[in-house]
Amino acid sequence: MQKNLKKIAHIFLALFFLASSFRYVVLAQPVNQEKNDYVILLHGIGQSKRSMEKIGKSLSSLGYKVVNVGYPSTKYPIEYLADDILNNIVERYSENPQSKIHFVTHSMGGIVVRYYLKNHKLPNLGRVVMISPPNQGSELVDSLGDSYFFKKLNGPAGRQLGTDKKSVPLKLGSVDFELGVIAGNRSFNPLYSIIVPGPDDGVVSVERTKVSGMKDFLLLPQTHAFIMKSEDVIQQVIYFLEHGVFEKGEK
């Protein structure tokens, strides 16, 4: 029975990554006065920068200089993604001390940023928003991470996102920068939710998105696969970048 559940879970895993790479239509918005600040976007594992396009267009319309990063998330471990790939990108935009550099991430992108900021100084760091980050790992990786299918689909970085001794997120400790975390509590996959304890978004439990030192936290009724495309989420990302907190009032 357990073997059959895992087999079905693998199929859902493949469908999730295919679905999360779909394009979404973005309505044109008026461009406001250009800002000096950069916003670096990092997608999640197994995805591409297309998944962050909707956020990027909204930020660009407000005058932010958006850098939507496409990186080989399934080919290298988190250490290489942070120290080599992300570091080279940040260096291009960190020369002007008058320009803040913000980060907006989805899923594993947040762990790449945490690792980078833990090991590199960025004097003009602005604010960071992480959407559905596995800040304390995910039990889904513990259960499926050793399977051939999981390794093939997620590569070395995927196996580092569990809650065991190999977990990179659990080794990073607390954060010391302005961080806002947005989590979802709607699961797209009931089988995954059997593996992941408590309220979850289908991949990460709500509690495991949190990290010590974060400045604000927001829970929204969204799934892991599509949370970064939600209009409500995008507006909250913008609000945090501009105010350092999420907008908690009723809508």
Q: pLDDT digit string (tens) for 101-116?
A: 999 999 999 999 999 9
Q: Please give the pLDDT value at position 15.
A: 46
Please state, rounded to an integer, the average pLDDT across all residues of the chain. 88
- This prediction has a pTM of 0.86
Distances (CA, A) of 7 to 1, 11, 13, 14, 26: 10, 7, 10, 11, 36
In a domain, 17, yes or no: no
Q: Please give the pLDDT value at position 30.
A: 43
In a domain, 250, yes or no: no
**DSSP E strands: which ranges in the chain?**
38-42, 65-69, 101-106, 125-131, 179-184, 216-220
Q: pLDDT digit string (tens) for 229-241?
A: 999 999 999 999 9
In a domain, 4, yes or no: no
149 against 222, higher pLDDT: 222
- Confidence at 248, pLDDT banded by 50, 70, 90: confident
What's the first-to-final CA gap in the chain, in angstroms?
Answer: 45
Q: pLDDT digit string (tens) for 21-54?
A: 433 333 334 444 678 899 999 999 999 999 999 9
Q: pLDDT digit string (tens) for 159-213?
A: 999 999 989 999 999 999 999 999 999 997 888 889 999 999 999 999 999 999 9
Q: Please give the pLDDT value at position 149.
A: 87
CATH code of residue 188 = 3.40.50.1820
In a domain, 140, yes or no: yes
In a domain, 10, yes or no: no
Percent of the chain residues topping a pLDDT of 90: 76
Q: Please give the pLDDT value at position 4.
A: 53
Fill in the DSSP letter of residue 200. B
Percent of the chain residues topping a pLDDT of 70: 85
- Domain of 95, in residue numbers: 33-243
In a domain, 9, yes or no: no
Number of domains in the chain: 1
- How many degrees, rounded to 5, is the angle at CA 55 between CA 136 and CA 196? 25
